[in-house]
Structure 1
Amino acid sequence: MKNSALLALKGGEAALKVDVLALIADSVICTDEDGCVLVFNPAAEKSFGYSAGEVIGRHVEMLLPLRHRAEHARQVREFGSEGNSTHRLMGPRREVWGRRKNGDEFPAEAMVSRQIIDGQTILTVVHRDITARKELEDLREAMAREMDHRMRNVLSVVHSLVSISAADASNVEEFRDSLVGRLKALAASQGALRFGEEKHTSLNEVFLAELAQYQTQGGANVAIDGPSVSVGPKAAQLLALAVHELATNSAKYGALSSPTGRVIVATAFKDIGGEPLFLIEWREEGGPPVKRPERQGFGTSLIKQVVARALRADVALDYRSDGLICRMTMPHAALEADQ
């Protein structure tokens, strides 16, 4: 090595010029051809957790996970025997693993170079901790998988909406209007989920996202009463659609159609026979007298069939004269559903 500012050899031992190596942000580790550490710069001390005094003179394998030591030794022997090679990347796909003093393992990139100085082979490794980068890559991959997963879920729900809306509509205009409203409710649930931040969201937030359009100034006609519960994407989508159907019906015929009407959405935990359950109750009051419908419409079908089946819920509709009550009782675990 000609640059004596980096390394000077005296009696076969390496004397480190600390003022230069301290400026290098990556770990720099020099060994002899047998793997005995000669140089261990400050960045290496910070990365591996050892002081230079704890490492210099010992075998470099102490800085590697046990399972990688045999392969590392093979690579070093192979590299040392290559007559015309002075540097190269280490490890498959340019990635290796390091082991800190506390036993933690971390991914890294490493470049190894070989120099012959006074007849002695010196191997120098520049070692870069890529933990933060790998975490970011893993996050991006997870987000891509989550996006694909959610898109499949949404398309499945949209398919059901189109099929049932078409069967329920008596003409094209009715089909269009009902489908657009239901797609808006689905979009509101997606907005509440805030993709990329959390996989779950507050059920109360899902309800408010759908009911906000019906609230009067001050919001006195709509009340959400109960604990804030975390729900997964599938449960959020289905419960948003259920509330959309109940609110749409109420705005046409029930409490939300009257200036004096009011809707309360109450939630509570229950325990029946040792099984943790969750209750959602939609209750209307102050609106016009309620009459049981002559036929079951789309909203009732969606709640009784799609929501009940997907979330394993018991659904009960009580057409009381002073206001509709809809109760949905489901296993608490169903709220975590994301597929």
Structure 2
Amino acid sequence: MTDAQRPSDLDMQAPGAGSDPGGPGQPALDDVLALARLICAAASAELQLHGAAPEPGPDQGAGFHAAAALPGPDGEALGVLRVSDRQPRPQGLSPAQADGLKALARLAAAQLPRAPTPAESRPDGLDAEALRERLAQKAGRTGTFELDLDTDLVHPSPTFLQLFGLPPTDGVPATEVQRLIVPDDSHIPSNTATRHQGVAALNVEYRIRRADDGALRWIARRAEFLHDAQGRPVKLYGVVQDVTERKLAELRTQALAQLGAQVRDAGSLDAVAALAARILGETLGAARAGYAAIDTARGAYRVLADWVGPAAPQGTVSVKGDHPIADYTASTARLLEHRPLVVDDLAAHPDLAADVAGFSTIGTRAMIVVPVIERGALVGSTYVHDAQPRAWTAEDVRFAAAVADRLHAGIAKLRAEDEQRILNEELSHRLKNTVAIVQALATQTLKTVTDRAPVQAFLGRLVALSRAHDVLVQQHWLAADIRAVARGVISIQSDEGRFTLVGPDLRLTSKAALSVAMLLHELATNATKHGALSVESGHVRISWQAIERAGEVQFRLDWEESGGPPARFPTRQGFGFRLIQMGLSGSGNTEIHYGDTGLRAGFVSPWSAVVEP
């Protein structure tokens, strides 16, 4: 073995490590044996518990044997880690191999279970199978139990007792275990009646408060009934596992998804902040959570949302409103470093001593504060507080940061929408002024024109275009409701009661909205002069739908007049006629029928060009 292969340089995290019972970063016992064979170049390796502990060295018998003692906590030998080979090896182990074997023996000894209590003692001690089973349970935080239905006693494994925070015992009343289940989950596990009837749910998950420290933990229980010869359930065998980390991860994922979905629908900054504060506080089970805008120029925090939860001491009140930065100078300085501030206990942070009085007035001992940075400046903070010292986990901090990110994105979206609304209102105001000026110019310029029809047509088209713009402005120039566009145009020409609008709710693209408005205006103008709207009994049906043509989805708009005079092909084909012929958005896909009861026109265009996704 070369120096590069000395045990001190070897990666002791062999395959399978990490599921060990001895703690993070230590290999399992099977891996210890595999490493012993590898380091000592031996054919076999074994643990011999409660046996003699010979010094490592060559054996004078057949083949080769060497061993290292498994040191106990008081220096006594718990057994040996032995390696063997079929071939004699007079020189024994090299110094490096001997050191490696001793290191592995210490590692194996550290993983052996504590001395059993009298209740756990067995006359013959722990055999290899019992040891393997106990260590596997400890590694997976999985306990086993046998519940005798006649005595209602639970016979638990040591790991079962550890998970529930119960003292060592051979048997514990089932009611003693059931009382640890939180009241909201008490209906989930089995009870005496459901067990005796054999109808208890076998696979369940519920929350408990550990008996020793009151910690809230999630437990997954899987069980099976044992029946006697008459089919009567007599025992319930099962396993329990601590799944707290998995459940918390699931709850955090669900909370973030809920926050993301609801932020999109929130209509105000206060609503977004209140939503994020509640989800943050509830998910982490904290006393307080919220969001504060920071105005360094004014020297003030403005708390926009402050959620107070059930974990808060009685009498805790919201701190929503303005607070001077001077009360929190130390923590503000930390936030200016652009990193989350994580405090397990304010009393243990002398660097925050200047802020203790301020935080004491609001009942805070532990906190996570995530700064909000815009263009390099501190503009806000998302916080979660507890009234008692609390050891925040890395997952707690990551979750708080994720909530802060979504809250900041929601606030930025609302601000952008407010800015867009102001811009649209200004644009609409200027557009109306421009249309009014154009109308005035047209009226003055064309006042000497004797044929007023073209002048009125031009002015009507300006008004129709203005109405379509109004609808688009209301939708931030992104899309327009087709009914709103149609009603805005037809109201110029006639009573809306003379029209029927039929079709699904759709949002038109901005270009399609202007095109539909101009088409409907020309058709309505023509109907008022020559068609159905020129007589009292006339009516117009405007409909739209999705159709399939050549394997593609198309948008179809139909105009159908009834109760009016017969429609005739125009003898003079002016701008309005050409505009109708151009169709939707200039696609030209137009069908016009001049019938005895009035004009019928159909317009077809690709769905994606007309309808907003």
User: Structure 1 length as normaliser, TM-score?
Assistant: 0.57
Counterpart CA distance in 1 for 2:378 and 2:333 is: 23
**Pairing of 1:24-103 with structure 2 (within 5 A):** 25-26=322-323, 28-31=327-330, 36-38=351-353, 39=355, 41=358, 52-55=364-367, 63-64=370-371, 95-96=378-379, 98=381, 100=383, 102-103=400-401
Describe the SS at the equivalent of 1:187.
helix
Aligned length: 251
The equivalent position to 1:228 in structure 2, one of 505, 522, 547, is 505
Describe the SS at the equivalent of 1:269.
strand
Identity, in percent, stands at 21
In the alignment, structure 1 residue 105 sits paired with structure 2 residue 404: yes
Contact 1:255 1:286 in 2 (8 A): yes
**Pairing of 1:63-212 with structure 2 (within 5 A):** 63-64=370-371, 95-96=378-379, 98=381, 100=383, 102-103=400-401, 104-105=403-404, 137-144=415-422, 146=424, 173-193=452-472, 195=474, 199-212=478-491
Letter in 1 for 2:567: V
Describe the SS at the equivalent of 2:457.
helix
The equivalent position to 2:589 in structure 1, one of 302, 314, 318, is 314
For residues 219-258 of structure 1, the C-alpha deviation after alignment (integer angstroms, 9 at most, x for no partner) is 2x32112222222433222211111100111111111112
Letter in 2 for 1:322: T
Q: 1:92 to 1:172 in 2, by over 3 A?
A: same
Q: 1:150 to 1:307 in 2, by over 3 A?
A: farther
**Pairing of 1:227-266 with structure 2 (within 5 A):** 227-266=504-543
Q: 1:30 to 1:323 in 2, by over 3 A?
A: same
In the alignment, structure 1 residue 284 sits paired with structure 2 residue 561: yes
Q: Hey, what does 2:548 align to over in structure 1?
A: 271
1:318 CA drift (Å): 1.8
Letter in 2 for 1:325: R
Q: Which runs of 5+ in 1 are unaligned?
A: 1-18, 46-50, 69-90, 108-128
Q: Which runs of 5+ in 2 are unaligned?
A: 1-315, 335-350, 384-396
Q: Hey, what does 1:325 align to over in structure 2?
A: 600
Q: 1:290 to 1:331 in 2, by over 3 A?
A: same
Whichever of the two has the greater Rg, that structure is 2
For residues 80-119 of structure 1, the C-alpha deviation after alignment (integer angstroms, 9 at most, x for no partner) is xxxxxxxxxxx97864454545113379xxxxxxxxxxxx
For residues 296-325 of structure 1, the C-alpha deviation after alignment (integer angstroms, 9 at most, x for no partner) is 22212123337442xx46222222333211
For residues 143-191 of structure 1, the C-alpha deviation after alignment (integer angstroms, 9 at most, x for no partner) is 35546887999989x99xx9xxx9xxx9663432111111121222234
Letter in 1 for 2:481: S
Describe the SS at the equivalent of 1:296.
coil
Q: Hey, what does 2:573 align to over in structure 1?
A: 296
* RMSD value, Cα: 4.7
Letter in 1 for 2:322: A
Structure with larger RCO (C-alpha < 8 A, sep 6+): 1
Counterpart CA distance in 1 for 2:570 and 2:453 is: 18
User: Structure 2 length as normaliser, TM-score?
Assistant: 0.34
Letter in 2 for 1:287: G
Contact 2:493 2:525 in 1 (8 A): no
Counterpart CA distance in 2 for 1:33 and 1:138 is: 27
Describe the SS at the equivalent of 2:599.
strand
Contact 2:583 2:603 in 1 (8 A): no
Counterpart CA distance in 2 for 1:98 and 1:264 is: 56
